Amino acid sequence: MNHQPFEEWLLNDKNLTSSEKRELDLHLRTCTHCTALSATGLALRSANVVAPAPGFALRFQQRLAAQKIAERRRKLWGTLVLVVSGTALLAWIAAPFIYAFITSPVEWITAAVGYFLFFASSVQALTEAAAVLFRILPDFIPPYMWMVFVSALAGLGLLWTISIWQFSRAPQGVSA
């Protein structure tokens, strides 16, 4: 059963025309849901509104201010505990490294130079290996596979271009 216009009329206290009142009365005779809704609305409208006790607003504002102060204090202490415990944990983990760093600078200098030389020689070896692969690779792959590979890359580029174009263009005209 469609309750939509009747629920809207009952909940919004809308001034109804005579035909709408007739429709609503007919619907209320058959629908228990809307009848209960109408009775609830009538009970709520006829209830007496009780004025708050004197000083209610002031007490509420004071309690709210006290709660805000307590919340700020809890956040401050929580942040302080988090920072102190995090710093202590980091210091506990880093203490052996810091001690080794401070006590023997010769060791960390030689380690740094060793890491730099390892990195430089690794980069040089990788570039030489890549150069050898690029020299040998064209002989292993037949020309038609190169065409397939280049065509696939061109297709992906076209798909990418079209998707960027679709997402970036502004809609014009009337949208349904």
- Distance CA(22)–CA(97), nearest Å, equals 87
Question: What DSSP element (H or E) covers 35?
Answer: helix 32-46
Q: Please report the pLDDT score of residue 49 as a whole number.
A: 79
Do 37 and 65 contact (CB within 8 A), yes or no?
A: no
Token pair, residue 75, equals: 């956040």
Question: Where in the chain are the domains?
Answer: 1-48, 68-103
pTM (2 decimals)? 0.35
Do 38 and 10 contact (CB within 8 A), yes or no?
A: yes
Q: Please report the pLDDT score of residue 176 as a whole number.
A: 45
Q: Mean per-residue pLDDT for 20-27?
A: 82
Token pair, residue 28, equals: 């209320």
Q: Please report the pLDDT score of residue 174 as a whole number.
A: 53
Do 9 and 16 contact (CB within 8 A), yes or no?
A: yes
Q: What is the pLDDT of residues 81-100, one digit of tens each?
A: 999 999 999 999 999 888 87
Confidence of residue 120 (pLDDT cuts 50, 70, 90): very high
- Distance CA(68)–CA(80), nearest Å, equals 18
Confidence of residue 146 (pLDDT cuts 50, 70, 90): confident
172-to-54, 58, 97, 162, 164 alpha-carbon distances in Å: 60, 56, 63, 18, 17
